[in-house]
Structure formats: C-alpha cells, structure tokens
Chain A
Amino acid sequence: MSAIPGLSPVRRRVYTVGVSLYLLAALCWLILRGRLPARPVLAFLGAFLRPRWRVGLRRIEPESGFCYTAPVPVWIMSDLNGASGLELFEDEVRLPLGHSPHDAIRSLGLGRYSHWGRRIYFAASDNSDPRANGRRYRLVESRW
C-alpha cells in the first residue's frame, strides 16, 4: 500500500502543509483552553533560547537489576512531566534506547535509559557497573 493513487506531488504537498498548519492552530487553541498542557511545549521552545545543557554523571547509585541512577537538575524537563531532551553518552557513543520503561532497564539493560523526574535511570551498554567499568557517562540536552 503506497500513497493515495492519482494524487499529484503538488497536491500531496498542499495537503501535508495545510493539515500541519491547521493542526498547529488547533494545538494552540487546545492549549489556550487548558485542554492540553502548555508546559511541555514551552520547555521545548525554551530549549532553543538557552545554551545546551551538558554534564558528566556523578553520584551514580545502584537501583535494581542492571539499573543505576544519578541526579539531574529539577529544571530540566523529564518524561514525567513532558518530553525529556536528554541524551546519554557512554564515552563518545550515544546510547540509543532513551525513554525506556524502567522495568526494561532493570531486567534487560544494554544501554537503555530514562530521564524521569529528578533522576536518570540507566544501564551500561554491556550491563557492567558504571561506577567501575572505567567509562565516562555524560548527559547532553538535544534540542530536537
């Protein structure tokens, strides 16, 4: 199944741009009416107006299974109340499985992580102890 047969590329573009603008207007309306939360959108937009936040992980503590935690400043938006923009790097490699369920971090590990509330929950890429495996862990805030 591909795109709708007989639809020209120009019309397809008109549809996608037109619907996007319409939905953006609807989103503004729903936020103004208090139906949808404004905070995640403001935090997302705010990330473009300040320097990207980056820091090495400190005070790492074991949590459960393969999962370890470390503190994150409260003013950085997490998945608990919006959409976290933090990416976790192990040495120079970005771990690919952000926004993971915590049970999966504990039981499967393998580089999964989650920014939830004031903490980052994560597992090393090989499920080793991040306090003793000799690697450096740092968080970088992405804008997109």
Chain B
Amino acid sequence: MTEKALDPVLETILACPETGAALTREGDRLTAASGAAYPVIRAIPRFVPSDDYVGSFSFEWNTHNRTQLDSYTGSGTSEAMLTAKTGLGPEDVRGKLVLDAGIGAGRFSDVLSRWGALVIGVDLSYAVEAAQANFRDRPNVLVVQADIGKLPLADESVDIIVSIGVLHHTPSTERYFRALVPKLKRGGRISIWVYPDSGEYAVRKYWIPFTSRLPSRAFYEWCRWIVPRIYADPSRRWVQLLRRLFPFSDQGLGLENDILDTFDAYSPVFHGTHSPEEVAGWFAAAGLSEIRVLDVPSSVTGVKP
C-alpha cells in the first residue's frame, strides 16, 4: 500500500470516508467501488485537498518535527503526559489498533507504537509529512491526512481512540468528538484531553481572534524573539506582567519546547475551552460507560458498551 512495509492489519484498514466502503490500491490512488478516488502522495493517503483552517499546524510541526518526540529527546515527558491525560499504559495498548486523532508530528504515536500498538495517525494538516518522516521505519504506524470529523475508517474498526490537545482546535469540539465514537469497537476505550475553561486557557481565548490572523512565519519569529528574553530572567516585573496578560508556555521542558508551545497556544483559528463536567457530559450523551474524569483537567476517558 505504501513505500514502507506496513503491518498487514494497517494495509487494509482504510475505508471511504463518504460510504465506509473498502478501498483498493490502484497505482498511486485508493479507489472505492463507488468510483471515489483518493491519492497517495509521498506514501501518505490523502482524503482532503488541503490543510484548510490548520495551516499553523502545518507550519509548526514541520518546523519542530522532533522537539517533543521522546525517542528523539531521550526524555519521558510525552509518555508521562500520555498516561496522565488518557489513563493508558503499555499493557492497555499492546497489540491493539489505536487511532491517534490529530497526530501532529507524532509525539504520542511515538509512545504508542513503542508500547506495541498498531497506530493510525490522522491529521488534517501537513504535519503528516513530519510524522511520516519520523515513523519511516515503523511498520506499526500508518499516517493519513484526513479530517477527523470525516474519518476514512469503517465504523467499529478500532480498539482505542486517543485525542490529546486536538479537538478544541476544530470548529466544534463536541461535534468532532461525537464523530470519533462510531469508529470505536464495542468494548473499546476513548480518551481525550481538551483545553479546560480556566487559567491561561481562558485568557488566551481573548487573544485568539488577533493572534490567529498573524502570518505563521511572522508570529513564530516573534515567539523566537520573546520567549528567550522571558527565560533570561523570569522574575522581572515586566515578565510577570506579560505572563498575566499574555500567558506564555512554561512547561519546564526547555526553550525550544516553550517557543513551540507558545506558538501552538496562540496561532490556531479555533480555541475551545471546556470544563471537565461538560466533557464528561459528552461522553454520557454518546452512550459511553465507565466514564472517568482524570486528574488533568479536562481529561476524560470512557468505554463503548
């Protein structure tokens, strides 16, 4: 199916996003019986014509393609974050088919695939180029460019769905969450983390109408200029003031990460914020069971009965 050797399960997992019908590989295309055809470009099946409203993610993940990848940095921060925000560990995913809805450059698919999962990483942005390069040698990772609101997967086809820090960047966090649930097998688990409606996330919401209009290159260059100055002496009064009015990323993971994460926090077009109770309500309305609100707000996990 692609230039790299893929696990046989991943070879045949994709389906027509319109009908759910199986797809057949014909040269550099995937075709459905209905006649619909989808190109495979640079070994990535493409189900969308462009990156639509997520151009900032295309830019940031191809600029910082490995900054947050544990297997590159040697740290375990993404692994710890994955566990904290999903409640999942290696035993939960080993041998399972896992959908990473919003793969980005692949920080969480990196962990999941090392834990032994078969991973389908989907993203609307051209971050898929970075992810594909990062997983060139992993037959258990399939990278796909598609809209997570219109997934190229048959219903009830995956064991686990994770979506960390993605759904709030769609036009409707709840609607896009609801679009994921049908793809889950019965007994399968879905875990998501979205921005909580408090703290720095609430302040940033006011800035988004302004910052999301900035050209990515210009705003990124500004982040590269301002964040090191904040790092130089975080106790200065102007830094404290700026933190309060324009909260910067300060994850303790180094300067490059905070430049990336500050850009990431302010550049997207959509920036939904949701309370844990609201998110848990979506899980209940979707008919999920064993719903748990995790310690990291607003992380919620549930099982499809």
Interface locus among B12-20, B149-157, B203-211: B203-211
A85 close to B (CB within 8 Å): yes
Question: Which size class do A's interface residues fall under?
Answer: 35 or more
Judged by DSSP, the binding face of B is helix
Q: Which residues of A contact B221 (CB under 8 A)?
A: 3-4, 7, 12, 15-16, 19
- Shortest CB-to-CB span from A20 to chain B, Å, is 7
Q: Which residues of A contact B238 (CB under 8 A)?
A: 44, 83, 144
B219 close to A (CB within 8 Å): yes
Interface locus among B90-98, B125-133, B239-247: B239-247
The answer to whether residues A16 and B237 also contact, given A1-B67, A40-B245 and a CB cut-off of 8 A, is no
Contact, CB under 8 Å: B63 / A4: yes
Q: Which residues of A contact B243 (CB under 8 A)?
A: 83
The answer to whether residues A41 and B245 also contact, given A12-B221, A15-B217 and a CB cut-off of 8 A, is yes
How far apart sit A95 and B246, CA to CA, in the bound complex (Å)?
26
Question: Which size class do B's interface residues fall under?
Answer: 20 to 34
Contact, CB under 8 Å: A18 / B218: yes
B220 close to A (CB within 8 Å): yes
How far apart sit A41 and B242, CA to CA, in the bound complex (Å)?
9
Contact, CB under 8 Å: B210 / A22: yes
A91 close to B (CB within 8 Å): no
Contact, CB under 8 Å: A1 / B240: no
A27 close to B (CB within 8 Å): yes
**Contact flags (1/0) for A130-143 with B, using CB distance below 8 Å?**
00000000000011
- A residues sitting closer than 8 Å to B (CB atoms) are 1, 3-4, 7, 12, 15-16, 18-20, 22-23, 26-27, 29-30, 35-37, 40-41, 44, 47, 79, 82-85, 96-99, 142-144
- B residues sitting closer than 8 Å to A (CB atoms) are 63-64, 67, 203, 206-207, 210-211, 214, 217-222, 224-226, 234-238, 240-241, 243-246, 256
